[in-house]
Amino acid sequence: MTVPALALTDVTFTWPGQGGFTLNCPAFQIAQGQSVLLLGASGSGKSTLLSLVCGIATAQSGQVMVDGNDLGALRAGARDRLRAERIGVIFQQFNLLPYARVIDNILLPLRFAPGRRARTGDPRAEAARLCAALGLPVDVLTTQAGRLSVGQQQRVAVARALIGAPALIVADEPTSALDAATQGNFLDLLFDQVTRAGSTLLMVSHDERLGQRFDRVIRLEEIIKTQRTAA
């Protein structure tokens, strides 16, 4: 039987203190190679769920499995290594190093993930291929990331997430700053490269118009419940 790319079972997580909340996820799975859009409004628990999926936060109970690995059974260092090896993250704010060259930003995950580096072959050649496939200019690799347009920075962030073909790509509202035409072009390029890498895609958004492109569309309230901490 094929191992799911992601599986959450009876997960509970509580942010402490006044204004905190408890998140419960009874069951949620994504099959290998699927593309899944998770729809949720601001404040609905999307960021907390992504933190649990990426091993940044640890569930107080239940099980979070990524590519067959139980995150809760790992020490912090081992979770960090697994995240670097198995998960590529496209952040909403991109989180590029603005004064570093584009090539250095793209290759950064490989410093912490020898398995991804081994799968890459020639890292610089693969970085150049990804940039070309994502529609970036040929001279972009030597440009400081902070000098690029917002759209170009976004594509560099995608190349960084995809290099080394991690098992799971997690994208946090990556199209929120784009108009409809640019959004469509960006998603075409993203899906092409995710398919080429053989990765699974989990994208979080509030934009229901994106749903037709994905294998599955799930509303956050269908898989999690949140309860605010009493003041």
Give the model's pLDDT for residue 230. Answer: 58
Reply yes or no on whether the pLDDT at 53 is more than 90. Answer: yes
Q: How far apart are CA 103 and CA 142, in angstroms?
A: 6
| CA distances for 97 relative to 56, 101, 106, 122, 138, angstroms | 20, 8, 10, 22, 20
Q: Are 24 and 62 spatial neighbours (Cβ–Cβ below 8 Å)?
A: no
Q: Are 57 and 48 spatial neighbours (Cβ–Cβ below 8 Å)?
A: yes
β-bridge mates for residue 169, sequence order: 88, 201
Q: Establish if 153 belongs to a structural domain.
A: yes
Tally of CA atoms within 13 A in the half-sphere of 52 that contains its CB? 28
**pLDDT tens-digit readout, 66-81:** 999 999 999 999 999 9
For the segment 105-115, the average pLDDT, to the nearest whole number, is 95
Give the model's pLDDT for residue 18. Answer: 58
Q: How far apart are CA 178 and CA 183, in angstroms?
A: 5
Residue 158 pLDDT grade (very low, low, confident, very high; cuts 50, 70, 90): very high
- Tally the domains of the chain: 1
Q: How far apart are CA 125 and CA 86, in angstroms?
A: 21
Q: Establish if 56 belongs to a structural domain.
A: yes
Residues 6 or more apart in contact with residue 77 via CB below 8 angstroms: none
Q: Are 109 and 88 spatial neighbours (Cβ–Cβ below 8 Å)?
A: yes
Q: Establish if 127 belongs to a structural domain.
A: yes
Tokens 């603005």 sit at which residue? Answer: 98
Pairing of strands 21-30, 6-14: antiparallel
Give the model's pLDDT for residue 206. Answer: 86
Host domain of residue 81: 6-228
Q: Establish if 1 belongs to a structural domain.
A: no
**pLDDT tens-digit readout, 10-39:** 999 998 765 678 999 999 999 999 999 999
Pairing of strands 6-14, 61-66: antiparallel
| CA distances for 131 relative to 7, 96, 108, 117, 225, angstroms | 32, 15, 15, 17, 39
Instruction: Give the Cβ contact number of residue 117 at 10 Å.
Output: 17
Which CATH number belongs to the domain containing residue 76 in this structure?
Answer: 3.40.50.300
Q: Establish if 85 belongs to a structural domain.
A: yes
Residues 6 or more apart in contact with residue 75 via CB below 8 angstroms: none
Residue 64 pLDDT grade (very low, low, confident, very high; cuts 50, 70, 90): very high
